[in-house]
Amino acid sequence: MWVLLSQSMMQLERQDVITGTGRDQSWRSDTKDSLDLLYKTPSTDTQKDLFNRDYCLHHVLKVINLAPDTGKRDALDSGKTLRKRRGKRRKGQQLQQDPGRGDRRLGPMGCPTCPYALCFLSALSLLLLVTSSSAPSTLHGPTDLRASHLKMDQALLFIHNELRNEKLDVFWCSDQCNQCTYQPLVSRVKENGSTAVDAKHSLTLQLNQTSGTGELCRVHYRFREFGNYSLWVKVNASDNGKVTCAITIDQNPDYSYLPILIAFLVFLGISFFYLLGSCVLRIDAVRNFLCKKMHPIETDRLINSELGTPSGPGVYSHEGTWNISSNAHNRLRSLDTFRGLALTIMVFVNYGGGGYWFFKHQSWNGLTLADLVFPWFVFIMGTSIYLSLNSMLRKGDSRWKLFGKVLWRSSQLFLIGLFVINENYCHGPLSWSELRIMGVLQRLSLTYLAVSALELLFAKPAHDHPETCTWLLLQDVVVFWPQWLVILALEATWLCLTFLLPVPDCPKGYLGPGGIGDFGKFPNCTGGAAGYIDRILLGEGHIYQHPTSNVIYKTTMPYDPEGILGTINSVVIAFLGLQAGKIYIFYKNRHKQVLGRFFIWSVFLGVVSAILTKCSTNDGFIPVNKNLWSLSYVTTLSCFAFFLLLVIYFLVDVKNVWSGVPFYYPGMNSILVYVGHEIFANYFPFSWKMQDVQSHGEHLAQNLLATSIWVLISYILYKKKIFWKI
């Protein structure tokens, strides 16, 4: 036993912690310190402790992940057992990594994520479900009153008419509705009446006499969810008999944002305990203890059967050899994290966002959280296009061959999009006359095809670009001036079609929603030229029938937010993402240059947006509008995208203080997660019949649970190395 164990230790001491060839200077010092601690053995250690510590080091090495932007690193060695204590070192051979385990990495603070991320996501889902669902749906007043009168985001208004022999007609208009006509709320109120009112936005109430003698008064008020209010209409005798209107609170409203607060605290609490556990696991004694407990049988078997000798000189072998894959480690982790963040938010808002209006798409002009994610996804797709095509061109691949792959992938995306948005399985067979043609994946496929073709047509591999003083500051822009000319021509086309194309019964350059907007002058002009082009080329039956504008603006015309004209600006935002990819390549490993250019682009696009919108929602030259994919929408969302990418790149790829978890996992399997969440939206456990449909709490719990499940699924698939790529 002693002889074999000594031979084992002598073989192990021939290896070095970091080999001399190809040493990476960016290797984190905390990893080396943690490994050095494993070698510090008191003189009273037993033989089994020595071997356990070495076996533990073997498993620590198996889960070490290399930084994504440093390429292949020299692996760590587990030698230095006997000679380490005498202060002698020898250079050894490099460890090879198991091909099937090359993607494991350390989590935050340098701790293994394999078992802990799974527990983290599972506990998160369970706690969100329990806490949000158990949150009180109403804090004041009897629930039967609310159940009998109100729906979600509504309040109850009692109208008290103290005018003698006069009946009242009450009209309303939401602040969210720009230049809208007043809509009837309740008619012919003689003495007392009641009605439900919208609690999402501030309202203006207009009271008229039923007899038609004119307006009596107006009241501007912000109602709160499930509150009870009284509107008193009376004659003020001290003011020459002028009619006055006043609103009082009969029953305090609920705090409808309580479920969000609970969910936030759950996220915060679990994150805190996760990081605390990570810090504890950095302690050497704890890591040794856990490593021994994780594989006690295998450790004892190796010692007792005297099989501790490596299989070859200078090579630590256990269950095969290790090969380091440089492809996985060269991948920019920040890109997948950014994509996963956008996709996770997209899943959440598509599932309902807890029923909150700010988690849904804006009715027309302006932005909500739901309006951010699709352009971000398009932006990061453009970044990935450049990184992918540049790599293939550098390898010498034919441009025509690459274009064939791009065309095939675009066709697949388009067909998958058709299948996803035209399910209709609950309403019988789908009619060809009602087949929707455009959609999210269809927009992505056309954008991908256009931007990739533009890149293949004019691009050169990055290493072919001269780095002289002339090109140094703007080389990532000047070299690609033909591409910029094409993009400017495309944007000029969008502007000309939008503002100069004649649309029947509509003014030129109309950007409004139609319906009751613009005081009802253009009810059938929804979307202006964009809507008109879709109706002419696709047909009214083949475009989206329920646009967001019909909720507030009462529109009746179909309108597709992923229509043909908006695809032009989708190409523009993808090209700006392509520009981010050029910055990554041209200034590779020069982090200050990358961060500085991201910041400059963000500021520049922000200034352009401020000019186009005049820093207002509705009064600018070109308002920010997701339905139109307006120019200001493109510049604003690109501004946000550059800044967000700057932050994520700094945290994930530069400082390595965040691994991108949990957003990294759905970002690695984006097509599968998107298609899956669309197909299984109405299946358990992603949705169920709610006990309280008026409660934001249960809606939020359901939507957060469904989103967490998809993140968990993407994590499991990542660990099993299952990726859906087309």
Q: What is the pLDDT of residues 56-76, one digit of tens each?
A: 444 434 433 333 333 333 333
The single residue listed with the structure tokens 């990495």 is: 105
Asked if residue 100 belongs to a domain, the reply is yes
Residues 6+ apart with CB under 8 A from 277: 111, 116
Asked if residue 424 belongs to a domain, the reply is no
What value does the mean pLDDT take over residues 29-40?
A: 42
Query: Does one domain contain both 132 and 200?
Result: no
pLDDT on residue 644: 97
Which is more confidently placed, 642 or 15?
Answer: 642
| Residue whose C-alpha is closest to residue 639's, from 665, 620, 619, 613 | 613
Q: What is the pLDDT of residues 512-521, one digit of tens each?
A: 999 999 999 9
Query: Does one domain contain both 230 and 264?
Result: no
What value does the mean pLDDT take over residues 537-561?
A: 92
- Region class of 331: left (phi > 0), else alpha (psi between -120 and 50), else beta: beta
The single residue listed with the structure tokens 């809507």 is: 531
pLDDT on residue 480: 87
Query: Does one domain contain both 260 and 378?
Result: no
Number of domains in the chain: 4
β-pair partners for 322: 97
Which structural domain range is residue 508 located in?
332-398+456-657
Query: Which CATH number fits the domain that encloses residue 204?
Result: 2.60.40.2890
Asked if residue 421 belongs to a domain, the reply is no
Query: Does one domain contain both 105 and 116?
Result: no
pLDDT on residue 101: 37
| Helical pair 47-63 and 2-13, crossing angle rounded to 10 deg | 40
Query: Does one domain contain both 392 and 507?
Result: yes
Listed as own residue / partner, the contacts of 475-478 with beta carbons closer than 8 Å and 24 or more positions apart are 475/586, 476/579, 476/582, 476/583, 476/586, 476/587, 476/597, 477/579
The single residue listed with the structure tokens 């033989």 is: 47
Whole-angstrom distance, CA of residue 441 vs CA of residue 418: 8
Asked if residue 461 belongs to a domain, the reply is yes
Tokens in use for 11? 């073989």
Q: What is the pLDDT of residues 680-694, one digit of tens each?
A: 988 888 988 888 888
Asked if 457 and 394 touch (Cβ cutoff 8 Å), the reply is no
Query: Does one domain contain both 225 and 263?
Result: no
Task: Examine residue 662 and say whether the peptide bond preceding it is cis (omega within 30 degrees of 0).
Answer: yes
Residue 187 has pLDDT above 90, yes or no: no
pLDDT band at 120 (very low <50, low <70, confident <90, very high): low
pLDDT band at 141 (very low <50, low <70, confident <90, very high): very low
pLDDT on residue 122: 52
Query: Does one domain contain both 370 and 516?
Result: yes
Please state, rounded to an integer, the average pLDDT across all residues of the chain: 78
Residue 219 has pLDDT above 60, yes or no: yes
Return the active site residues.
Answer: 361
Asked if residue 405 belongs to a domain, the reply is no
Query: Does one domain contain both 480 and 523?
Result: yes
pLDDT on residue 53: 43
Q: State pTM to two decimals.
A: 0.77
Asked if residue 448 belongs to a domain, the reply is no
pLDDT on residue 637: 97
The helix (H) or strand (E) run that includes residue 387 is helix 373-394
DSSP string, 639-675: HHHHHHHHHHHIIIIIS-----TTTHHHHHTHHHHHH
The single residue listed with the structure tokens 């995306």 is: 413
Whole-angstrom distance, CA of residue 61 vs CA of residue 321: 12
